[in-house]
Amino acid sequence: MTETDPLNGLVRPELLALADYNAGVSLEKMRSELGLERVIKLDSNENPLSCSPRVAPAIAAVQPGIFRYPDREELRLREMLSKDLGVTGDRLAFTAGSEDLVSILFRMVLRPDDEVVTVVPAFGLYEICAQHASAVTRKIPFTADWRFPVEEIVSALAGRPRVFVLCSPCNPVGVSIALEDFDRVLNAAHPDTLIVLDEAYGEFVKDSERGRLFERLKRHDGPWIALRTFSKAYGLAGLRIGYGIAFHSALAEAIYKVRSPFNVSAPALAGAEAAYRDQDHVAATRDFVSRERQRVAGALRDMGLPPAPSDGNFLFFDCGRPARTLAQRLRQKGVLIKAWTEAGYENHARVTIGNTEDNDSFLTALREALDGEAE
């Protein structure tokens, strides 16, 4: 080993060169760093109403058996979901969060120099996970008015990329793709291309639109998988559980060959089962987020910081200045938002829709930060 390279070439150099994923800042770190008891954490898109009250008793109930390994086949949760989704249970694959599933999928299907196509700005792990596999990412920007660039996507699909990832509602923008545009995209995809529909925020879509993309995806002739999570609308981010719905059981079986044998913990399974049974809580979360999102978006527009249209539990807005600078000013006031660092979008930030008090604190701190610039 040397001082300049303590690993002495042990780790692949292209992996060491990767950018770190910006996962937000922990409340504990911020309280310690700022000396504040109350920190407003609006940088990770967590559920403003927390999880269902049914979750804690369900987790407590499995504690006596915590010395045993969890149910590797996730039987109860699998049965509930497959019935509602209209697919056989063997097409479901559960992992420690939907981003874990992205990592697993990309390791499974990508070869060096394969191409992944996605729309940007985008969830950063798509590109990072592609780089893990020595694949390349082709990033197609949204239109200036925040619509999916359908013509450019169709053109890119003609090149038969190995993977096309579409997130709807899109993280970080929040916009959803129209059903007719999604239909065009699927019709343009070659059978060699795996379509990945990331629906991490799908539960926040309004009733008349929710589930329509998945129903269309089920009729797609090529390989596909839809990704979902219990971290957002179900409020279980700390438990780490998500799942994929595959076009065929063979893909789900392959995922279980690659993921660790007991990938989802017993508390996570119990929590997810309880949360899924409480759809009233999910509906209450969706209604609350919709009202508060509209209110916060209006306040941002009044401040001259227009947000993109959003169906998620967050807003992506134009700061009119380097977002890192504005986010740092808010941080000093104990308010955390996520400044976007992706090339071309450095003047944008994403803010989670929190509870009413947290949203008010964010808007007050933002006004103070802007007023401070004018002085």
Would you state the CATH architecture of domain 13-50+280-374?
Alpha-Beta Complex (3.90)
CATH value of 55-277 in 3.40.640.10, 3.30.420.10, 3.40.50.720, 3.40.50.2300? 3.40.640.10
pLDDT at 31: 67
Domain ranges of the chain: 13-50+280-374, 55-277
pLDDT tens profile 150-186 = 999 999 999 999 999 999 999 999 999 999 999 999 9
- For the chain, the farthest-separated pair of C-alpha atoms sits apart, in whole angstroms, at 63
Cβ partners under 8 Å of residue 39, min gap 6: 27, 30, 31, 334, 335, 336
pTM of the model as a whole: 0.93
166 has which bridge partners?
A: 197
C-alpha R_g of the chain: 21
**Rounded average pLDDT over 340-352:** 96
Separation of alpha carbons 79 and 82, rounded Å: 5
pLDDT at 291: 98
Separation of alpha carbons 294 and 206, rounded Å: 13
Q: In what order do the strands lie in the sheet with 348-352?
A: 314-318, 348-352, 338-339
pLDDT at 10: 79
Cβ partners under 8 Å of residue 337, min gap 6: 42, 43, 327, 330, 349, 350, 351, 352, 362
pLDDT at 13: 78
pLDDT tens profile 63-98 = 999 999 999 999 999 999 999 999 999 999 999 999
Q: Around 19, how many Cα atoms within 13 Å sit in the side-chain half-sphere? A: 11
